[in-house]
Amino acid sequence: MAIALTNGRVLRGGTLVDGLSVLIENGRILAIVAQDDPRCRDASPCDLGGHMLLPGFIDTQVNGGGGVLFNDAPTVEAIRRIGSAHRRFGTAGFLPTLISTDLDVVAQAIAAAREAIAAGVPGVLGIHIEGPFLNVERKGVHDPAKLRELDDSAVGLLASLGTGRTVVTLAPEMTTPHIIRRLADAGVIVSAGHTNATYAQIVEALHHGLRGFTHLFNAMSPLTSREPGVVGAALEDRSSWCGIIADGEHTAPAVLRLAMRCKPLNRFMLVTDAMSSVGTDKLSFKLQGREISVAGPVCIDEEGRLAGSNIDMARCVRNAVSLLGLPLAEAVRMATLYPAEFLGLAHELGRIEPGYRANLVLADSELNVLDTWIDGEPIAR
């Protein structure tokens, strides 16, 4: 039987619209109709209590959550627990993210993501492999002992998921334009991060299939007066996507506001870079043997370096409104449609439209998440 979501304010385009019912059947949006449409009488009703119905959030960089770090447990069960923790905050699609490690662990993580998709684990869309092909000069908290150059021998592994989407964050200067092209041609979404590349190196990588930039401004060569660096190349290029962590700490809000004046807004997407503490009350955890402390919205190591975030996607959307000055609809698109476009999934995710997967978020006026549907199933089920 179809389900009729009624008495909500449905986000259509850039407007919250009253008086609509969203009909769901077999995990997809069947129709969007007036609440007095005869089809609603034949459906099972679900009263939304006048709250906002938004597309489900999509997070392309999720290191952990619910007390689990993907690096510590590259398993199907870990992916399930991480997804469950973030679902409470509106994330209906995510990429479990592996921080730089040995290639045998990368292989385990890819196998786990493949199995999770096959098993129907709610929300998992693929995998994000962040390293180990990074520049030690911009390593952040990545273990320098794990970092390495990317040569032909690893291309097959990185392209081996066989389902869903694979994002690989690499430093373009740690490989060649030829290998970047091979990855892109194999369907891998290549993103630059933890890189000390020059502007010219990034421009060449863009010509060979580089598609995005991982946590813009963080762990990359900056924009300067004579060398535009990675940041300058990212902001000049109008086609590539930039992930931003809107926690107020990773990057100053004023800097993000300036960045968003440089290229189309639909090329920015919110990411959490979340660690295992999200969805828990834990104030510390271990990352590859190092003690990491939770400090408000961020995580830091013993030396005071940023080590991911303690933020969820709903809070990112709230911050995009309050700190970056974006209209609600635009902030929501940065957490829904734009990451869907980055992943090549905008034909079925990121909008509330007939035929789309019924990945939806119910939120109050303060963007507190009340329920999250994934493929038509609410949390309660």
Residue numbers annotated as active site: 273
Residue-wise DSSP of 235-246 = HH-SSSEEEE--
Q: Between 199-207 and 177-185, two packed helices, what is the crossing angle to 10 degrees? A: 30
| DSSP state, residue 185 | H
Question: Looking at the DSSP assignment, which residues form a beta bridge with residue 62?
Answer: 96, 274
> Who's near 289: CB < 8 A, 6+ residues apart?
none
- Measuring CA to CA, which residue among 323, 322, 316, 370 is closest to residue 339? 316
Which amino acid is residue 35, in one-letter code? Q
Report how far residue 217's alpha carbon sits from residue 222's, in angstroms, rounded to the nearest whole number: 7
Pick from 55, 80, 69: nearest CA to 352: 55
Q: Strand, helix or coil at 272?
A: coil
| Mode of pairing for the β-strands spanning 126-130 and 290-295 | unpaired
- Cis check: omega of the bond before 132, within 30 degrees of 0: yes
Other C-beta atoms within 10 Å of 141: how many? 19
Alpha helices in the chain (DSSP H): 38-41, 76-87, 103-118, 155-158, 177-185, 199-207, 229-236, 253-259, 313-322, 328-334, 337-343
Cα–Cα distance, 33 to 207 (Å, whole number): 44
Longest distance between any two alpha carbons in the chain, whole Å: 66
Residue 253: in which H helix or E strand, if any?
helix 253-259
CA atoms of 7 and 19, how far apart (whole Å): 7
Whether residue 168 contacts residue 184, with contact meaning beta carbons closer than 8 Å, is answered with no
What is the distance between the alpha carbons of residues 361 and 314, in angstroms, rounded to a whole number?
10
Structure tokens at 374: 């994934």
Instruction: In the chain, count H helices and then E strands.
Output: 11, 21
